[in-house]
Amino acid sequence: MPSPPKLRALPSPVLMTQPDDPPEPDSQYVPGEAATQLGLQPPLEIVDTIWRLVVTSEPGAGKSYPLQGQVRVGRDSDNDITLPDDKRASRHHALFQITDNTLHIFDLNSSNGVYVDDKRIRGSSRLRSGNLVKIGKTTFVVQYDG
């Protein structure tokens, strides 16, 4: 039976290396490019919100809500947008979702439905700038700032 290989000591101490200095502003650096080349997910970048909801009904007319990712709306305090005084809104009424810069709304099986431009939606609907969305007694206008 062969003997196990012998280990030898390292010739010098192992040093920790520091990451390279950040690229100069005028270089051709593209955030996440190295990760993408390695087949990894690039880091998320913080971008300005380009979708928003603006309340057009009372109370709260003029209040603006920026939308990013998924935003849930309803009467309960655990929603991203809360409508605590709107008795026609369900506890978890609707979900706004942005995918590939496209905005959709999903009715979360609410009691009184979700209306887009005065038409009740079934399941979900794609939204466009200028659409009026009614959740309970609260009406929002969809705005796109892109």
| pLDDT tens, position by position, 33-66 | 554 555 655 444 445 569 999 999 998 899 999 9
Give residue 15's pLDDT: 52
3-state secondary structure 32-79: CHHHHHCCCCCCCCCCCCCEEEEECCCCCCCCEEEECCEEEEECCCCC
> Mean pLDDT of successive 10-residue segments in the chain (146 residues)?
58 52 47 53 54 94 95 97 96 96 96 97 96 98 91
Whole-number Å distance between alpha carbons of 43 and 35: 8
Give residue 36's pLDDT: 53
